[in-house]
Chain A
């Protein structure tokens, strides 16, 4: 149901520019106004959210540790520097691997129950599918985004844009060059989508807001592929438009066809949607306090900005007042011998 809703939404989104551009002749609206507004919303929303995170405190160091910590004897007990970092540099590498290799996800296992001989067996096996799907998807997306820079930069820098183009297009099928990342993105989205639809547990936890971004990205990819390989849009004209956007000299050349407007409209939707959704995991992954802090709070002092100095231990003096008599009887030392004298004796 949630998946169907999402599909419906995306269809509607395609229809808007399809009719909007042709019927209403709102080329400037769809070519300039929408993407510019979307971009502004994206930036403001993104920054706002990150600032909100930044403004909430990190009172304690709470890294989740995955391996041996730095011991008193680093030779006898080898520290796992990546999963249990204690310095800034070690933590940095932990984060690099998290961000670029999805390392925690790589660790994923799957549990299964079996009837063993006479008693039950709980088995765990490594399960790297999600890692594979996710990494295919994210890298493809990332490379495609970088490749698009060629539309916004003049001259086009070889690094990384030109180089990426070259590597990405190595698998040359037909003309124009077929990009590996295009395939990767579509396949990645379909796999992630399929996983949500097929696995009962994942399906159970999925909302419209989980299907929608996948379908939206899929439609963006498909519209892009359509433009490039089938509709063969006028790239020169598009570059004119995009360069106009970044230099604030807006032009919408006549030779640009509707498929481009659909593509741009979908991308704009994604930009607007981004800061209000779970897609914010992208900046969020950098900020996670269980990952980006060194595990050193027993060795180094840290400050909790809202630590309340008025909270004090139950005073020993009160403790002794309460239990002084039996303490004295048991022969436990007292700070104040008077506490050891029973009440009635003290009065007598």
Chain B
């Protein structure tokens, strides 16, 4: 295994010449076994959860194959929900660390973040509707612009409200339990958003189509 691409140069550098500088506990965090045994159980648990969205996709296989626009929407819907959730979590946990976070809807910082996330969602999901309609046309689909826009905008806005709630709750719970929200919330929220993104999207698809 060469490390791939640009990474393989410098392969033969002898690696033990700063042996003494290392302290034991720092190195312990950088062992293959340590990293694998921490991450694999987490990734497996996430994958089991992801099977929920997979099952939903699989059950809509006929519609997805018939209307390629819908296939175009799926990765963007999942990705955008994760991005919005990450922004919300990262910003709220920074506020928390700065000591200026109060969990009330009256807090101007919370309002600003919620406003930004909703605004970003509105922008992205309108663009997504138009783009996926055009791409769907090119791929030989027949779904109309109106329907696609209803699907992307309604499910996108529902999803962004949900993302705001989940992110805020995740930061709050993580803080209450004594975990640093910077470490815990983003993986949890992006994963929850992946699954609920697919559920909300196909809930709306089932109503519209």
Partners in one complex: no
Binding site for B on A (CB under 8 A): none
